[in-house]
Amino acid sequence: MMLKAVDSVEILSLMDNSIDLLSTVNREEVKPLRSWVRERMGEDWVRKYLRYPIAEHGFSVLIRVLVGDSSHNVLFDTGISSKGVVTNACNMGVNLTQIEAIALSHGHYDHSGGLVETIRFINKKDLPIIVHDDMFRRRGIEDLKGTIREYPPFPSEEDVKPAKFVKTKRPYLLADGAILVTGEIPRQTDFEKGYPQQRFYLDGKWLPDPLVLDDRALVVNLKGKGLVVISGCAHAGIINSVLYAKQVTGVSEVYAVMGGFHLAGKHFEARIDKTVKMLKQLNPALVAPSHCTGWRGVFTIAKAIPDAFVWNSVGNLYQL
């Protein structure tokens, strides 16, 4: 698909598992919350009005692309709690009503839990929410004893009114052709095997659902630098996600890889070394793992490619 090249992209971490309001970031294109708000609002505003945002086991980023005189705003995922994303946006002084579309990376509740409250706050008729049919499945996870822990249900069409679902399994363009939702991601590597413990309910039975076919990434083509690939959880595999982004856009250079890489937990930590080896081969200038990457994966990435690595935190603003 022809993905329009953008002059710049701003990515704000609205929700993640960690928050760090004090540490510095040794990259001029990444700003922590307080310094960013101070630049925008001034020191007096910071002292009077800035409220601390929260962290949770969830993921959400606000993406703003600029092409010439035009700008577009898209929200990717909505965290796990009902009001966490709205609370953080308000506490950071972010105007969510500028959002033109919401894209969900997949149907798990730590990415869609705040969808209904976020939509109510934005309050736009026919606001498009980009989803996949599998997100509406009744799902759960099976433990070693064979017990199923069922996930909270995905919001219904009635729940999200006045917004509307846009269902697609294929690549889909947003922001006047400047942001790509990958659609279903083909599995090319031999070590990214999805989510083996996942199950879905059909005709009275819990059935295997390891591939998580609704897992998608968002892609931006930064002019003169290459692709920015943002993953929610990378159940399809972060390497598979990047390879497919290159394939579907025809852009060979990768500038940034961000989001959840799903390398946490004993079922997934065996993938860390192969994942990091292929990340190094892709040679991005910026790697910002977060959410479900886990500390083992994060620290392995930091040691292997220190010049590219950034520790993500709630409130990080990436200005690329």
pLDDT tens-digit series, residues 245-274: 999 999 999 999 999 999 999 889 999 999
- Indicate the residue type of 196: P
Please give the angle made by the CA atoms of 30, 31 and 33, to the nearest 5 degrees: 145
Report the CATH fold assignment for 5-319.
Answer: Metallo-beta-lactamase; Chain A (3.60.15)
User: What is the pLDDT at residue 202?
Assistant: 96
Domain coordinates in residue numbering, the chain: 5-319
Q: Which residue bears the tokens 């856009």?
A: 249
Query: Does the N-terminal peptide bond of residue 162 adopt cis geometry, omega within 30 degrees of 0?
Result: yes
Question: Interhelix angle for 84-92 vs 115-122, to 10°?
Answer: 50
Locate the DSSP E strands across the chain.
5-6, 8-15, 30-31, 60-67, 70-76, 101-103, 128-131, 139-142, 148-150, 164-167, 172-174, 179-181, 198-202, 205-208, 217-222, 226-231, 254-260, 286-290, 317-319
Instruction: Determine the pLDDT at residue 25.
Output: 83
Nearest in space to 247 (alpha carbons), one of 320, 188, 178, 174: 188
Q: How far apart are CA 71 and CA 8, in angstroms?
A: 10
- At residue 24, the pLDDT reads 82
Low-confidence ranges of the chain (pLDDT < 50): none
**Predicted pLDDT of residue 35:** 80
SS3 state at 113: coil
Query: pLDDT per residue over 181-233, tens digit each?
Result: 999 999 999 999 999 999 999 999 999 999 999 999 999 999 999 999 999 99
pLDDT for the residue 23: 83
Instruction: Please give the C-alpha separations between residue 183 and each of 171, 228, 318, in angstroms, as whole numbers.
Output: 4, 16, 24
φ, ψ of residue 318 to 5 degrees: the values are -105, 115
pTM of the predicted protein model: 0.96
Cβ distance 17 to 291 under 8 Å? yes
pLDDT of residue 1: 84
- How far apart (Å, rounded) are the C-alpha atoms in residues 306 and 308? 5
Output the pLDDT for position 253: 98
The angle formed by the CA atoms of residues 250, 253 and 257, to the nearest 5 degrees, is 105
Residue 254, pLDDT score: 98
Instruction: Report pLDDT for 111.
Output: 98
